[in-house]
Structures are given as C-alpha cells and as structure tokens.
Structure 1
Amino acid sequence: MPHSSRPGYGLVLAAVMGLVAALCLGSVGEAKAAAPASWSRWSDQPHGFASLAGGTTGGTGGKVVTVTDQASLMKYAGAEEPYIIRVKGTITAQPFGASVEVASDKTIVGVGASGELVQGEFHLSPGTHNVIIRNMTIRDSAIEGNWDCKDTDFDGIQMDTVQHVWVDHNRFSNICDGQLDVRKDSEYVTVSYNRFENNNKTFGLGWTTNVKTQITIDHNWFAHTKQRNPSIDNAAYAHLYNNYLTAQVDPGDPVWTYGNWSRGKTRMVIENSYYQDVQHPYQADATAELVQRGSILKNTTGRHDTWGAAFDPREFYDYRLDPAAAVPAIVKRFSGPQERIGVALEPTQTPTTS
C-alpha cells in the first residue's frame, strides 16, 4: 500500500510538517528581505510588510515599565519618548469604551497570558509610527443587544494614517464595533498570530479612496465571527497566508456574512489558508484583484472569486509557508497570547501615575 493510502498518514504528515514549521517561520528585513536561518513563532522581530522601509522596532531602546492600572498604561503609552510597556493583569478601562492613546515608538506587551484591556480601545492617531502591540487580550466592549454597533465606535485597536505597526499574538473578543480597524492610508502593517473571536465586524481596512496600504496578515484564527475576516478596501498590497477561518456566525445572511473580501482597487494574494464551514470564503469586487493558491476549503459555500494578477509577495520579502493541512493545528496552538512572551523583559523604571 502506498504511504499516502495508509490510515492516519495525512494526520501524521501534517503533524510532522507542522512541527518542522514551528521551528522557523517567515522573514524580516529591508526591501527585499532575506529570511534568517531560523527563528521561533515568538520572534521579537516583525516579518512581512512591517519589516520593510526601516522596519518596526516599537519601544526598543527605551525604558521598560510594568503597568497594572489604566492611569499608568495611558501615561506611558502616550509619552513622547520610547517605552516598552509590560501589561500585567487585567486593566478595566473607565469610562466604558475609553481609548488608550498610543504614541510613536512604543511596544505594548502582555506579561505571559495575563495582560488584558477590558471595555477599552488602543488608538493610534494620524502620524503615529513604529508601534508594536503584542500578547494582549482585548475584550468585552460590546453592548448587550447592540449587535450592529452603528452608534458606537468602540474598537479593539484603531489606527488612522500610521506607519510601521505590528499587531501580534493578541486575542480579540466581544468588541463593539471593529476588533481591529486599519484605516486611512496606514502603511507597512503586519497582523500575525492573533485570535479574532465572538464578533460581528471583525477586521476592516480602508476608509480611504487612496490605494496606499501594504499589509501582511498571517496565522490568524477567525472563529465565531460574522463579517470583515478581513474586509480590505483600496489596499495597494494585501498578503494573506496560513490563516484559519471557521465556526462562522450567522451564515444565513446571504451578503454580510463572509470571509476575506478584496474591495475597491485592492490587490490581494491568499496562500495556504484553511476555510471550514464558511460562507463566501473569499470574494473580490470587479475593480479589485484576488489571487488564491494552495488553500483548503471544507464545507464552504457562496463566492470563491479569483481574478487579476495581483502581485508577487516575494518581490517584497521572503517568507515561509506552512502547509494548508497543518494550519488548524498550528494556529490553534500558537495564536493568541503566549505564556513565554513578555516575561523575560526586566523593568528599568518603576511606574508612577503622577
């Protein structure tokens, strides 16, 4: 009997390939970056578009502080100088829906799996650059009975006209309205290893007629979400790979329940992703372009659009693709906050709220 016909062979192969892939992933560097010899899924260096044009270093070189309350978080996040801000424990924002303004040259990282921002938002205003938000849980700003959230603007993370942002290993849950909004000509953004769950409007990009944004979206898990998984409008380059979409909410909605949407004049490339029980897994406007290769579709319905040439991501950076069959196991294990991230950083300054 050939190997491929033996019972369980596919599961073993996927596990082996996933383990190999767990030891090294992706690439970093300057236009066009060469992949390092090896690096872990918890690398402190961004990959994809956030690694280009000078790179994204966050608060590297600044003082390291640990915060446990809203006043300290807001003080250091909004400071002019660089900071690495370790968030330890749960911070409940007051008033409900309050924004934490994040200034340039900041790293905000949860300590292990403990860092949480509840009923609040991280906001990056126009002109902000060089920001890393990692290993946080951002949750519970939704208002009961207000599923559509048209009269609120309580996002998880919202950025307007910013450059060089890395959003990595976070968990977003039960937000009103967008869990992550990348808006108004933001550039050089990477969104990796996040969990997006329990939401209506999940992850949107656009709010502009310009076609400027470059974004890499990889190894994210979208579960129990309805729309914008993500929706990408007028992005110059959108590279989506090794994402896992499943357990869609309200698939009976014939239009506004969907997976990936290439809108406006977006050029989108999807690679080796995994779609399970998803309506409209990927679709494109007539004015947009969408190339899909290597993905697995299981029990999907509706639109599966591909047209145009889009672009070649490898003209910008090198990266490692995990096999599509291994994506569910890899993403379930490695996405969201991780116990080892943020722990080794030692504070160099005692936080004060004065």
Structure 2
Amino acid sequence: MKNIYYFLLFCFCVLTSSVYAQDFSCVGFATQNGGTTGGNSATSIIDVHNAAELAEAIGTKKNGGTTPRIIRVNGTINNGGTAIPIKECANLTIFGADGNAFIEQTPLIITSSSNIIIRNIKFTMTGSGGGKDIIEITTTSSNKSQNIWIDHCEFYNETPKASVVDADSSEKDKYDGLLDIKKNSEYITVSWCYFHDHYKSILIGFTATDTYDRKITIHHNRFVRLNSRVPSFRGGTGHIYNNYFEGWLENGKYYSNCIHTREGCNLLVENNYFTKLVKGVYWEPKDAAEGFASGTGNYFDSTVESGFTSRAASSPFTPPYTVEQNDAMELPDLLAQYAGVGVITNYDDYGSQDGNKAPVVQITSPVEGASFDAPADVTVSANATDEDGEIAKVEFYNGNTLVETLNAAPYTYSFTGLVAGTYSFAVKAYDNEGKFASRSVTVTVNNPSLSDAGSLFGENAPADDYFWFNETNASVAEAMIQNGTFSGCKFDATKQTLNKETPLDDHVGAIYIAKETSMTMALPSCSLFKLYLGRGGDFKGNIYVSMDGTNWGMAIASLDGNKKGKLEITCPEVSSASPIYVKIENTSTGDLNIHGANIRLASNNPNNVSTVNNNRAIIRTRYYNLSGVQVRELTGNMIYIQENIYDDGSVEREKMIKR
C-alpha cells in the first residue's frame, strides 16, 4: 500500500511540474516602490458568490479596507451595470476560484488604492449601456493608485463583429474600454491576460493633458480582434514586451491598430509578435504632443501594413528591473496555452520550473538587419546546446512556415530565390524532453538598381512621359490586350473622364476596368511603373504585385480616398529584372480608366539576347512570349524567349522561332 502511495505521489509531482513550464511570478514595475503582495498576509480566504458579498468583502477605508484580504470569486457575479468601487483600499487580492469565475456587467473602479492583485477572472460588460470601463484605475486629486498587478484574466465583448468591424454599429461603444489607467496611477503590471473582441482595449492617460509620469509594464498578454488602444499610451514610461497582437480581417481589409504612442510617453517595446494589423507601433501627427518608443526583437509578419513608425526616443529608458524574455517567434503557441483564465489554480500560484533547463540556441549568421539584393539566397546558420540533456531536433522557419527539420549538427538552411521584401527567419531547438527555445533574425531583400531599357510600348513612347491610350495608339493598345500583356480590361479610343467640378486635363481614350473587376499586366521586367488614372466618381481599389501571377500578397498601393478626376500614381515596388505581374483592382461602382502609362523595362529583360555557353549543363528551360508571359506550349511560326538555367546558377535568355 505504501509503495502505491509513493507511486501516485510521484505521478502527481511529475504531472504538476509538467503543466507549468513558465514562471508566473509578479515582475515589472509592480515589483518596484516596495513591491505588490496584495492580501497574501491574510489569515483566511473570503468566499463571495454575488455582487453584494464582493462589495462587502472589499470594504472601504473606514470599514477594513486596508486590512489584508484574500477574496475568492465563485461562479458568476452580475451587478446590472453598476460599478463596485475599490476606493482608498489596500492589501487586497481578488482571484477566481477556478477557470469559471466570471464578473459581468460589474465595473471595478479602483481609486487611490495600493497593493492590489486581481487574478484568474473573466470579465465582460456586454449588455450594459453607458461608457463604463470593465476595470478603471484612477485617483482622487490627492492620493495615488499604485502597486497594482492584474494577471491571468480575460476581458472581452460578446458581439465582436458589430463592435469592431462595423464602425457605425450601435454596439461599437456599448461600453468603453476593457482596462483603463488614468491620472496619478503608477507601478502597475498587466501580465498573462487575454484581451479580445472589442473596439477599445487599454487607454493609459485619459486626456491630452494627463501626462503623469506613470510606470507600467505590459507583458505576456494576448490581444486578438481589437480595433484600437492596444494600448493607447500617454505620459510616463512603459515596458511592453512578449505580447501577441492579432488584428481583424474582414472582406479583405484589416481593421486593427495597436500600440499608439501619444503625448509625453516613452516606451520600450521588445520581442512582441504582430499579425493581421493596419498599424503596429505608431504615432499620429494630429496628437497634441509627441510620444516616443524604442524597440528591438519585434516580429511583424507580412500581413502588417505598417510596422514600427513611432518617433524614436532620443533617450530610451532602461527598466529598473531585469526579466527573462521569450523570443517573439515563441509567442503564438506560448500565449495560446498560458494566457487567460484557468491556467493558475490559486491566489499564490506562481507556476514553477520543471527542473529541465531549456536548450540554448543562437543564430550565427546572418546578422540582424542584414540586406541582400534580389533574387537572394540567404543561408541561416545556428548553434544549439543543452546543458542537462541533448538536442533532439532543430527547426527552421520562414515566418510561421516550417521549412526544414534537422536532427544533427551542422544546423544550417538556405532560403533561395528570395524576392524583394522583409523576411523573418526563426530557428527553434528542442531538447530530448521536448522543451524548446527559439531565436529569430530579420533580413531585407532589396531590388537591385535596374538600368532603363526603353518603354514597354516600344520606340513611339516618350522617354520621360506617358504613353497615351488614345486613337493614335489604338493598334498598340489593342495588340497588348490580344497578346496577353493586359488582361481583364477593354480599350475604348473615345473614353473620357467626365468631371465638371474638377476639370480634367486628360487625353481622350483609355484602357478601362469595369466596376468590381480587375486587370492584370504581365511585364517582361520593370524599372519604372507609373499610371495616369481617371474616374467620374471617387476612386476605390488596390494595386498588387506578384512574381508568378498567382500569389499576390498585400496591396502595394490603395486608390481609396482619392476624389473624382485624375490620379497619378507611381509604384516603386513594381521593380524586377525578370518577369513581374501587376493586378489593378477596381472596387468602385463604375469604370476605372487608365488614360496613360509610363512603364519602363529593365536592361536585362528577356528581350535581350545572350549567347549560350555550351560548357555548362542546363538544368531547367522556360519559355516566354514577347510580352514576358511564361507559356507552356509553343505554337508554330511564333517568336519566343528561351530562358536557360544552368547548373552553376547562371541564367541566359535568347530569342527563338518555333517552326
């Protein structure tokens, strides 16, 4: 019997230690200014089941509100939209009994209170009117709110589509923020929480003049489908690290903005993961005064339209504490597992380490921020070691895509044929017990400088101006549609852009794209891409680029917001020494006219003839028509471009006639 007991105890210990591979202790600014311990010195736990019991247990300054208290929330508490104040209180811990503790329609207003901990509770204000926040941390005129830790909680709205995507919905601001921090509130840490499905998330500093020198740490939180204020930060210093930010995609458009640096703030933004967003870390010129941020180790994937555009701080701040940080590439899986309610089980549950130390992995090349010319071959090399075991495998990622797994050194992988863009490569090393560590490196691939080789439209096109799709050039315009250079459009020699309010100095005639359709241009190469567009109504649409005519990625330019009349647009992203494809999308309710185009070819486009060196072996052959479109079957008595790819990596092209 005793042996069975010891065996069960051993199993329990093993299972318990395997659940927590993370340290959930309080870190960051809440550990400063004397630290944050909440009601940990209380001699008993107060169980509450409804709003009245919760309010009574919290108490007031005159009624035991500073005596150490640990309050355990059981089940659901709903106060019908009426707030429960935590005013001039101290030494308080409120935690959820299990993963089902739920406070709904019950704002918690923390005013001039200190040493407060809130953990393991799910919150929402759905169904409540007015502009209340779920949790508001604020102050009276004389006393601060300080040393507050909010950990492993969940904040959300139950009507995400109405509140986030539809800006005109009555549900959008049914209630205000999920967590707001105002006035003289400081020494606050928000950690391991899950914020999702709401319009406004976290407001720090409630007006342009609320620039108090507050100190806040936001780490290891998961932010998903939030429109803005993620967070919006005014005043003081903030340390934002190891968070996961995922926006909202609806009808092909992203809606979410994240870290907004506003009046008087100085932020350190480190090792965060950003995806599906309009803006990552940013400021806006309309702000009354500038906010600043410095950053390192952040990952913005290809779906983020604008990454780190905040003003850089002239004197970046250094936190007065040290913390261990995860690599940004670890965060999607890590926070999906450990952020939010139900992970911890008690008020003093701080996780644990399982005794097995994580492996150590370092990327030895390339260096962070390295740049290459397209098409680029980039070899990533890494070292991996494990102090208390051995390395089982090392994985290589391009963004989130696993591309290679190696079971033994040397740990290297070559990413080949990279086109222009920014790439984040990650290396993840696993030990023999399944624990892992990862590191990432970001590199840039640039288009090489391309020499001008003349116009796409032949010798008749001016060297520095537009080729006009008018009656004079009708034969060229029609031929380009017939041979596949342009597809999805029509030519009309009489087409005009009519706009009485803003007279248009255009040219009669246009290639036009019908409403809610798109056209594709197949270019042999490109060193300059410029269009002269016209519409009788406002412009609406996007321009995309692709190297294969199939995978288009994010838009390189938007036509939205331009008023009716003429529009000249230049796209430097359309730059390539080899065939490249451009898609112009017209999402308006009328035709989009292309009156003129200035498209210059690069000097080494497929129309240039090279001599084949027969001393090398050809490993691949491709064929293109004279417009640069790759063809699979050759028709007799036609001229094509034959592209030979050799075993030494060189590429040569020559004209040929199929008989």
TM norm. shorter chain > 0.5: yes
Tell me the residue number matched to 1:203: 202
Aligned length in residues: 295
Cα deviation, residue 141, structure 1: 2.9
Tell me the residue number matched to 1:131: 116
Aligned pair partner of 2:291 in 280, 288, 293 = 288
Q: Describe the shift of the 1:249–1:77 C-alpha distance in structure 2 as closer, same or farther (beyond 3 A).
A: farther
2:169 counterpart of 1:165 = no
Conserved? CA contact 1:82–1:105, under 8 Å: yes
Tell me the residue number matched to 1:122: 108
Tell me the residue number matched to 1:351: none
| Corresponding residue SS for 1:166 | strand
Q: Describe the shift of the 1:310–1:107 C-alpha distance in structure 2 as closer, same or farther (beyond 3 A).
A: farther
| 1:303-329 Cα shifts (integer Å, max 9, x gaps) | 621412453434x00001101000111
Higher strand fraction (1 or 2) = 2
Aligned pair partner of 2:56 in 58, 70, 75 = 75
| 1:255-277 Cα shifts (integer Å, max 9, x gaps) | x8410011001001111100010
Question: In the aligned structure 2, how far is the partner of 1:250 from the partner of 1:341?
Answer: 37
| Corresponding residue SS for 1:291 | strand
Tell me the residue number matched to 2:95: 109
Conserved? CA contact 1:82–1:106, under 8 Å: yes
Larger displacement relative to structure 2 (191-200 or 62-71):
62-71
Amino acid at match of 1:336: G
Cα deviation, residue 92, structure 1: 1.4
Question: In the aligned structure 2, how far is the partner of 1:132 from the partner of 1:224?
Answer: 26
Cα deviation, residue 249, structure 1: 6.5
| 1:283-303 Cα shifts (integer Å, max 9, x gaps) | 035622111111111110136
Question: In the aligned structure 2, how far is the partner of 1:132 from the partner of 1:153?
Answer: 24
Conserved? CA contact 1:90–1:116, under 8 Å: yes
Conserved? CA contact 2:40–2:69, under 8 Å: yes
Conserved? CA contact 2:211–2:264, under 8 Å: no
Larger displacement relative to structure 2 (108-117 or 335-344):
335-344
Structure number with the bigger relative contact order (C-alpha 8 A, sep ≥ 6) is 1
Question: In the aligned structure 1, how far is the partner of 2:192 from the partner of 2:257?
Answer: 20
State the identity %.
Answer: 27
| Corresponding residue SS for 1:204 | strand
CA RMSD of aligned residues (A): 2.5
Conserved? CA contact 1:226–1:258, under 8 Å: yes
Tell me the residue number matched to 1:47: 27
Conserved? CA contact 1:56–1:130, under 8 Å: yes
Amino acid at match of 2:135: I
Tell me the residue number matched to 2:270: 271
Q: Describe the shift of the 1:165–1:137 C-alpha distance in structure 2 as closer, same or farther (beyond 3 A).
A: same
Question: In the aligned structure 1, how far is the partner of 2:90 from the partner of 2:175?
Answer: 25
Cα deviation, residue 344, structure 1: 7.7
Cα deviation, residue 122, structure 1: 1.0
- Give structure 2 stretches of 5+ with no counterpart: 1-16, 140-144, 158-173, 350-659
Q: Describe the shift of the 1:199–1:249 C-alpha distance in structure 2 as closer, same or farther (beyond 3 A).
A: farther
| Corresponding residue SS for 1:181 | strand
2:313 counterpart of 1:333 = no
Cα deviation, residue 51, structure 1: 0.3
Superposition pairs of residues 167-316 of structure 1, within 5 angstroms: 167-174=150-157, 176-207=175-206, 208-234=209-235, 236-248=236-248, 257-284=256-283, 287-298=290-301, 299-302=303-306, 304-306=308-310, 307-314=312-319, 316=320
Larger displacement relative to structure 2 (166-175 or 303-312):
303-312
Amino acid at match of 2:84: V
Conserved? CA contact 1:290–1:309, under 8 Å: no
Question: In the aligned structure 2, how far is the partner of 1:216 from the partner of 1:251?
Answer: 35
Superposition pairs of residues 3-42 of structure 1, within 5 angstroms: 23=21, 40-41=23-24
Conserved? CA contact 1:290–1:310, under 8 Å: no
Tell me the residue number matched to 1:146: none
Conserved? CA contact 1:141–1:154, under 8 Å: no
Q: Describe the shift of the 1:253–1:163 C-alpha distance in structure 2 as closer, same or farther (beyond 3 A).
A: farther
Tell me the residue number matched to 1:141: 126
Question: In the aligned structure 2, how far is the partner of 1:343 from the partner of 1:308?
Answer: 38
Conserved? CA contact 1:267–1:288, under 8 Å: yes
Amino acid at match of 1:297: F
Question: In the aligned structure 1, how far is the partner of 2:251 from the partner of 2:321?
Answer: 36
Conserved? CA contact 2:137–2:180, under 8 Å: yes
Conserved? CA contact 1:170–1:194, under 8 Å: yes
Amino acid at match of 1:64: I
Larger displacement relative to structure 2 (299-308 or 176-185):
299-308
Amino acid at match of 2:146: Q
Cα deviation, residue 251, structure 1: 9.8
Tell me the residue number matched to 1:36: none
| 1:54-88 Cα shifts (integer Å, max 9, x gaps) | 01111122231111111111111224222100111
Cα deviation, residue 142, structure 1: 4.4
| Corresponding residue SS for 2:34 | coil
Question: In the aligned structure 1, how far is the partner of 2:54 from the partner of 2:299?
Answer: 41
2:55 counterpart of 1:56 = no
After TM superposition, what 4+ stretches of structure 1 lie above 4 angstroms from structure 2?
Answer: 249-254
Conserved? CA contact 2:115–2:148, under 8 Å: yes
Cα deviation, residue 341, structure 1: 2.4
Amino acid at match of 2:45: V
Q: Describe the shift of the 1:280–1:251 C-alpha distance in structure 2 as closer, same or farther (beyond 3 A).
A: farther
| Corresponding residue SS for 1:225 | strand
Conserved? CA contact 1:112–1:343, under 8 Å: no
Conserved? CA contact 2:72–2:94, under 8 Å: yes
Amino acid at match of 1:66: D
Question: In the aligned structure 1, how far is the partner of 2:250 from the partner of 2:212?
Answer: 31
Aligned pair partner of 1:153 in 131, 143, 150 = 131
Q: Rg bigger for which structure?
A: 2
Aligned pair partner of 1:323 in 327, 330, 340 = 327
Conserved? CA contact 1:251–1:279, under 8 Å: no
| Corresponding residue SS for 1:199 | strand
Conserved? CA contact 1:291–1:309, under 8 Å: no
| Corresponding residue SS for 1:333 | helix
